[in-house]
Chains A and B, each alone.
Chain A
C-alpha cells in the first residue's frame, strides 16, 4: 500500500476520532481504539494484508521518535519544578516501577497466563523502545510486548479520570507522575489535558520509569524468573 494513501487514510480517521471525542466523551471513540478499529475494518474489506498497511505507515511510526524527543521542551520550561521535587519524583517512580513489575507478575499468575505472555508483559508500563529492550533482556517476545504497551496506554488514558476521582487526586504533580508512570507516552499525552505542570511531571516519570525498569530488568528480574 502506498505511503501517501496510508498516511491520508490514517490521518483522516484520526481527525475524525478526535473530532468525535470533542463532541461526546465515550471511551470507544478514543483515537487509539476507534481509528485502528476503522482501519482494520477498511483493510479487511479491501482485502489488504495488515503488513502491507504497516509497510506504508513508516512515516507515521517514524514520527514517534521526534515526538518523544519533543517532551524535552515542557521539562525545560519547568526546570524549577524538576529541581525542587527531584527527590520526591525519583522515590515515587522507583516505588511505581516496582509496583508495576510485581503487580504484572502477580496478576499474570492469578490469571494463569502462559510464560511467554507473562515475561513479555512485565515492562508494559514503559515507553515502547525501552520496553522492547527489557523484554529482550528477560527472554520475552518484544513484538508481543509492543502490543501490551499499546493496550496499557489505552487503558491508562481511559481509566485516568475515574482513578483520580476515586482517590480524590487534585494536584497536577500526582496526576502527572501517575500518568507517566503507569501509561508512558500515551499517559503523558493525556496529561496535556491537565496542564503544563502535569505534562512535565508525566514526562519525568515516563523517562525515569523507563531507565529504572531497564536497571530492574537487568538486575532483579533474573533473580525471580
Chain B
C-alpha cells in the first residue's frame, strides 16, 4: 500500500511541475520550472490549498532517492573526453578546493554569528 501512496503522491507533485511550466511560459519568468514549482507547492501548502498528507510521503521518497536521478548525468561525463586531460584534472582540483572553501567559509560564518539560540 505504501508504494501505491508514494506513487500517487509523486504523480500529484507533477501538477506543480506542469503549472510551473505554464506560468513560466505565459509570464516568461526568468527562473527554471523546478524552482517556480517549488514556490507554487510551498504557497499551496501555506494557504492550505494542499494538505501536507497529500504530498509528504511522495516528497520524502523523491528527496531520499535524489541521487538516483543524477546518475544518468554523471554517466554522461564520458561524453566529455576533455575531462580525462590535464585540464580536466586541474578542473577537478579547482572544484574540490573551491567546494572546500565555500562550504568551510559558509559553515564557519554561520557557526560564528548564529547567536544565542542555535538550532
Interface of A toward B, CB cutoff 8 Å: 10-11, 14, 31-33, 35-36, 39-40, 43, 50-51, 53-54, 57, 60-61, 63-77, 79, 81, 88, 92-93, 95-96, 99-100, 103-104, 107-108, 111-114, 117, 121, 124-125, 127-130, 133, 143-144, 146-148, 150-156, 159-160, 163-164, 166-175, 177-179, 181-183, 185-186, 188-189, 192, 197, 199, 201, 205, 207, 210-211, 214
Evaluate contact between B107 and A164: CB separation under 8 angstroms.
Answer: yes
Name 4 extra pairs, CB < 8 A, besides A76-B46, A192-B63.
A73-B63, A117-B82, A127-B34, A183-B99
Q: How far is the CB of B45 from chain A (nearest CB, A)?
A: 4
Q: How far is the CB of B109 from chain A (nearest CB, A)?
A: 6
**How many Å lie between the Cα of A29 and that of B17 in the bound state?**
32
Known: A40-B75, A65-B17. A130 touches B111 (CB 8 A): no
Within 8 A of A (CB), among B38-95: 38-42, 45-46, 52, 55-56, 58-60, 62-80, 82-83, 87, 90-95
Evaluate contact between A92 and B76: CB separation under 8 angstroms.
Answer: no
Residue pairs across A and B with Cβ atoms less than 8 A apart, 26 shown, are: A35-B74, A36-B71, A50-B79, A60-B71, A64-B66, A65-B17, A66-B17, A68-B37, A69-B37, A73-B59, A104-B98, A112-B90, A113-B94, A127-B32, A129-B34, A146-B76, A153-B70, A163-B100, A163-B103, A167-B104, A167-B107, A167-B111, A173-B114, A178-B103, A186-B67, A189-B64
Evaluate contact between A53 and B62: CB separation under 8 angstroms.
Answer: no
* Cβ-defined partner of B78 (8 Å) among A40, A154, A178: A40
Of the candidates A11, A51, A63, A127, the one having the most CB atoms from chain B within 10 angstroms of its own CB is: A63
Evaluate contact between B96 and A178: CB separation under 8 angstroms.
Answer: no
* Contact residues in B for A127 (Cβ distance below 8 Å): 32, 34-35
* Contact residues in B for A182 (Cβ distance below 8 Å): 99, 102-103, 106
Decide if B1 is an interface residue (CB 8 Å cutoff): no
Q: Which residue of A lies closest to B88 (CB)?
A: A117
